[in-house]
């Protein structure tokens, strides 16, 4: 009875607080979402960023003696409102928050964005993560541009500094706004079945078959507050957008899927998933003039970068 009462209260809380939400910025030309314009922050700031679902999971363990994993908990309290729930829960475990620091020392500027796990080796604890180039490339305190001096990623439900996973820049193309991060020998990626926070590689979909009206979900890190989801549909399957390159040196034209899901600063690098939970795009921009219009680099475009890196 106690357990049943607790889960009922959890479900009611989630109905109010786990609403689908989203990512980034663009003009009819196009302005990158930015990882959230560069801000000053200290690493310990991330202690405050922990998902609502994770807090509920911790309460279930403490109050009700719950012994399952975090993903077991999500399944136990899972939504039944849509047929896509299971697929999107899976997609959430392939998403990460990305925290970049530019320069060294106190007061170094930083930014927060998102990424998607492309491949994962749970035996070695290795992973490759896709994100936007502008999430990990910016200006240090001296005004010099470069790749972030420090990059941390965080899994769903674990956006606190004690769960930071160190990553390095592996490669990418600035003119396509796609970068790949590498994680090596991370304990949290090993034996994931025994960890409270699961991590999985995303299922890659084909953007070439996307049609107007298709249901989509954008998963990112809006305003640097942790992973969350927004739902919508494809407005235009393909169009060109003009955005400022990561080094602010020139404008570049990118292919994009136009969506009507809300996106905010910090969702840059996050995934655009179809109703089957397959990754069909990397969200990188939103409309300047329309709050609920976003854009994503289609999989056919970002996979060219991935293959070019030999992954």
Is 45 designated active site? Answer: no
Is 177 designated active site? Answer: yes
Is 52 designated active site? Answer: no
From the candidates 177, 228, 265, 299, which is the catalytic residue?
Answer: 177
From the candidates 100, 108, 207, 268, which is the catalytic residue?
Answer: 268
From the candidates 34, 84, 134, 287, which is the catalytic residue?
Answer: 134
How many residues would you count in the chain?
A: 311
Residue 188: other Cβ atoms inside 10 A: 21
Looking at the DSSP bridge assignments, the partners of residue 1 are: none
Tokens at residue 202, please?
């995303």
- Reduce the secondary structure of 128-149 to three states and give it as a string: EEEECHHHHEEECCCCCEEECC
Residue 245: other Cβ atoms inside 10 A: 17
Contact residues for 157 (Cβ-Cβ < 8 A; gap 6+) = 50, 51, 53, 54, 57, 70, 196, 197
Contact residues for 191 (Cβ-Cβ < 8 A; gap 6+) = 122
In the numeric block, the tokens 């397959």 are attached to 278
Helix, coil or strand: residue 230: strand
In the numeric block, the tokens 């202690």 are attached to 47
Catalytic sites, residue numbers:
134, 177, 268
């Amino acid at each position: 009875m106690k357990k049943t009462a607790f889960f009922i209260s959890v479900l009611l809380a989630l109905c109010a607080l786990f609403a689908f939400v989203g990512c980034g910025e663009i003009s009819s030309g196009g302005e990158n979402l930015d990882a959230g314009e560069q801000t000053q922050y200290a690493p310990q700031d991330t202690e405050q960023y922990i998902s609502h679902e994770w807090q509920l999971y911790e309460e279930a363990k403490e109050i009700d003696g719950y012994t399952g994993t975090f993903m077991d908990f999500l399944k136990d309290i899972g939504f039944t409102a849509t047929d896509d729930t299971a697929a999107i829960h899976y997609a959430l475990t392939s998403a990460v928050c990305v925290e970049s620091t530019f320069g060294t020392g106190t007061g170094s500027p930083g930014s927060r964005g998102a990424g998607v796990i492309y491949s994962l080796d749970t035996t070695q604890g290795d992973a490759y993560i896709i994100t936007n180039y502008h999430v990990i490339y910016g200006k240090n305190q001296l005004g010099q541009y470069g790749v972030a001096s420090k990059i941390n990623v965080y899994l769903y439900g674990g956006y606190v500094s004690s769960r930071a996973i160190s990553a390095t820049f592996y490669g990418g193309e600035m003119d396509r706004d796609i970068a790949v991060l590498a994680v090596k020998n991370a304990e949290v990626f090993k034996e994931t079945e025994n960890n409270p926070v699961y991590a999985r590689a995303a299922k890659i979909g084909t953007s070439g078959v996307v049609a107007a009206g298709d249901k989509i979900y954008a998963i990112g890190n809006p305003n640097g507050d942790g992973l969350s989801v927004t739902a919508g549909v494809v407005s235009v399957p393909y169009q060109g957008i003009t955005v400022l390159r990561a080094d602010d040196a020139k404008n570049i034209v990118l292919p994009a899927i136009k969506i009507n899901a809300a996106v905010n600063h910090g969702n840059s690098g996050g995934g655009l998933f179809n109703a089957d939970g397959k990754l069909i795009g990397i969200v990188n921009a939103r409309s300047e003039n329309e709050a609920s219009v976003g854009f994503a680099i289609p999989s056919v475009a970002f996979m060219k970068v991935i293959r070019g890196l030999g992954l």
